[in-house]
């Protein structure tokens, strides 16, 4: 999906849009070569340049006048349905700095209309869960985790450690870390999990898909129970506050490289009506990611501009391209 962020200033906005044609109905945009002048213009530059416009199609296109609520509803609806049905989902905003990525994902709490994808997804997910409970009798339990990837060394940090119950905290804990696991695929685990977990054919298929894409686990982060949307929103606020604290202590050259991974773990189970009283269930996850901006930092000696700050974003770009192009190998590392 594509969101077009308004250019600053009316003149700059008009100039930018003169080379960009947006068609939300057809879900496509057309880019014209600026060297050839605006589309439809006549002149020597236009006459001597035969640049072919480039068209890009998306699953959805949100013009620069789109409201925050429109972007949220158009982005999360299908993903939430999939998560409640047992599949994993992930939503993030990817682009250059100062283009509204964090505003799109987090928004502002000044009014309900300015809330971002993260708080809206929390509210709507719990609403879907209640509807599924009434319709199918399935029982649900939601847990929340949040981690930060930050600094020049791309270190991992548990953003909910401060609000986790003391029984889950361990003074000898190594903190959040990555571990390769060639069997189970990408999973987030804690020492204590709910007693159900089995999973049916859909869960098995999901695990096989994960195994083919990623062989790393994020280990040892707090996974806290959220019985209500309000409690999950409280944990989101706590994670954002912890992230702000860590960024305030960073240097200017690393402050923009903080990425936040906020995950809602949805456990569900139900008693089978086959006469044996069996129980089936599984876990799905909704990953909501606010990416850092990769600020334009002057490069050090022998180092490209931006340096290690851009490594995580460029690596993510390589993963996206591999997935879109159907590559046999996904460079997940």
Q: Which residues are annotated as a binding site for ATP?
A: 95-102
Q: With 0-12 CB in 10 A as exposed, 13-18 as middle and 19+ as buried, what is 80?
A: buried
Which residues are known binding-site members? 95-102
d(CA 261, CA 190): 16
* Cα 107 → chain centroid: 14
SS3 288: strand
Phi-psi region of 9 (alpha: psi -120 to 50; beta: other; left: phi over 0): left
Nearest to 125 by CA among 288, 282, 281, 290: 288
Cβ-contact 115, 72 below 8 angstroms: yes
Nearest to 54 by CA among 28, 91, 85, 90: 28
The tokens of 194 are what?
Answer: 């709910």
The tokens of 53 are what?
Answer: 């416009």
SS3 185: coil
Residue with tokens 């209640």: 130
d(CA 38, CA 17): 9
d(CA 225, CA 239): 15
């Amino acid at each position: 999906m594509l969101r077009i962020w308004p250019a600053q200033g009316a003149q700059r906005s008009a100039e930018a849009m003169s080379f960009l044609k947006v068609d939300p109905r057809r879900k496509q945009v057309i880019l014209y070569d600026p060297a050839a002048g605006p589309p439809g213009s006549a002149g020597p530059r236009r006459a001597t340049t035969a640049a072919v416009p480039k068209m890009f199609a998306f699953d959805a296109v949100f013009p620069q006048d789109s409201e925050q609520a429109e972007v949220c509803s158009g982005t999360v609806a299908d993903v939430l349905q999939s998560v409640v049905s047992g599949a994993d989902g992930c939503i993030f905003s990817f682009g250059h700095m100062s283009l509204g990525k964090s505003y799109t994902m987090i928004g502002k709490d000044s009014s309900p209309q300015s809330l971002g994808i993260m708080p809206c997804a929390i509210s709507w997910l719990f609403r879907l869960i209640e509807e599924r409970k009434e319709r199918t009798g399935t029982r649900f339990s939601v847990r929340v985790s949040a981690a930060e990837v930050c600094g020049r060394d791309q270190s991992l940090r548990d953003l909910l450690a401060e609000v986790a119950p003391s029984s889950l905290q361990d003074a000898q804990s190594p903190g959040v870390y990555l571990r390769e696991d060639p069997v189970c695929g990408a999973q987030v685990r804690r020492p204590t999990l709910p007693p159900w977990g089995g999973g049916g054919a859909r869960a098995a298929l999901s695990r096989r898909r994960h195994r083919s894409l990623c062989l790393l686990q994020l280990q040892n982060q707090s996974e806290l129970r959220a019985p209500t949307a309000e409690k999950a929103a409280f944990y989101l606020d706590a994670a954002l506050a912890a992230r702000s604290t860590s960024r305030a202590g960073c240097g200017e050259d690393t402050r923009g490289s903080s990425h936040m991974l906020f995950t809602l773990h949805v456990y569900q189970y139900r008693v089978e009506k086959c006469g044996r009283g069996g129980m089936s269930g599984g876990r799905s996850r909704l990953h909501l990611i606010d990416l850092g901006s990769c600020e334009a930092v002057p490069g050090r000696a022998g180092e490209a501009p931006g340096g290690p700050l851009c490594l995580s974003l460029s690596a993510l770009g390589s993963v996206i391209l591999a997935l879109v192009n159907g590559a046999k190998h996904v460079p997940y590392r």
